[in-house]
Amino acid sequence: MYTKIFTKTDKKLEQELLSLKYTSYFQSKNWADFQSEYFNRKFWFVNFYENNKIISSCLVLKIELPFNKNYLYIPAGPALYDYTSEIYKNLVTEISKIAKQEKSVFLKLESTFSNKDTFDGSFYSNLMTFYNNAYNFFVKNLGFSKTYENKVPNNTLFINLFKDEDQIFKEMKQKGRYNIKKAIKNNIKINKTKNPESEEFEEFWKLTKETTKRDKFSSNTKDYYINLLKFLNSKNIETYLYSAYFENKIISSAICVFYKNKATYYYGASSNKYRKLMAPYLLQWEMIKDAKEKNKKIYDFLGISPSYYEENGNYIINDNFNRIKFKKEKDVENYLNKHNFSGITEFKTKFGGEKMNYMGSCDLIYNKFWYFIIKISKKIRKLKRKII
């Protein structure tokens, strides 16, 4: 095995990335270019080869912090053929060299290694075994620490697109099917565009502001979404803005990214005034059908609330290797009902599908003092936002 590190993208690199089995648009050439051009962030592709063939690639981003500090970030990576301990060990070694050069405080790894994957050829039959083995390898073996935040959701919902449309529709929950039919009955029409200068985009931004105010969460800037549509559209990746119309008025919008074998629901916004028309359900159904038409294998809802498992009479939720323990099953269910993702989870699970649980985020700390300072400062900012 040998290593090559790239700080610029080109077509040859893009073709190598596209050849890998396990990957994400967060690890694509387009995402690196987007991060570089829009955020002015440095990046590295740390690639491993055997017999002149790529076997793994990892996009590493440099994120600036207060106090003139920075950290390194792996979004939904690495991309590879198989999950092996050898690749992760070599990856940590190579990135530590970059961290030393950049004087980085820590490395944040957000891997898409899930309970449905094999690791060193072994498959973990249940959630308890999966999380325990992941903890033993990444924390005890490689020296990562439990993290205080994550950027990419640790849990998601997949729809298998190998099935025909009728079967996918049939496997939805009854309420999901009913709401799609209701939207059709209400004469909701769906359109899509890649153009960030379109009327649809302006309406999407209005709905985004309404949604964030209503649901009390922050969103990216308007300019962010404009550039997202610009950079995530090329020969090998497509990103569409879908719009749901009622009487020639856009009442719901969604962004979907089509990359390799997967379609990913990235973001959605809707008008509360027209919520009874069920437009978001028809939007999802149209995106699922488009994904199937484009021969994608998976439709990814991107984020849902976590799963739990039973261990020694207790009920456990794993959140970035932090074990949250409950004595009674009704207590863990009450916790999940109050989770930040409980509302979107209720919406997304109406479409059926299979839950996927990623190992979560973890940090490799290079400078303990500054890591502690940054951790405390983030907690103070979050507390201030709650008070305000």
pLDDT tens, N- to C-terminus, the chain (388 residues): 999 999 999 999 999 999 998 899 999 999 999 999 999 999 999 999 999 999 999 999 999 998 899 999 999 999 998 899 999 999 999 999 999 999 999 999 999 899 989 898 888 878 999 999 999 999 999 999 988 788 888 999 999 999 999 999 999 999 999 999 999 999 999 999 999 999 999 999 999 999 888 877 778 999 999 999 999 999 999 999 999 999 999 999 999 999 999 999 999 999 989 999 999 999 999 999 999 999 999 999 999 999 999 999 999 999 888 889 999 999 999 999 999 899 999 999 999 999 999 998 999 999 999 999 998 887 777 665 554 4
CATH number listed for the domain at residues 172-300: 3.40.630.30
Burial class (CB in 10 A: 0-12, 13-18, 19+), 185: exposed
> What whole-number distance in Å separates Cα of residue 358 and Cα of residue 355?
10
Domain ranges for the chain: 2-105+366-387, 172-300
- At 384 the pLDDT is 57
Exposure letters 316-339 (e unless 16+ CB within 10 A, then b)? bbbbbbeeeebeeeeebeebbeee
Residue 233 gets the label, from left (phi > 0), alpha (psi -120 to 50) or beta, of beta
Q: Is 178 exposed, middle or buried (0-12, 13-18, 19+ CB in 10 A)?
A: middle
CATH topology agreement for domains 2-105+366-387 and 172-300: yes
pLDDT of residue 383: 62
> If we measure between CA atoms, which residue out of 270, 265, 266, 267 comes closest to residue 252?
270
Instruction: Supply the pLDDT for residue 81.
Output: 86
Instruction: Spell 238-257 as b/e; 16+ CB within 10 A means b.
Output: bbbbbbbbbeeebbbbbbbb
- CATH numeric code, 2-105+366-387: 3.40.630.30
b/e per residue, 115-131, with b = 16+ CB within 10 A? bebebeeeebeebbebb
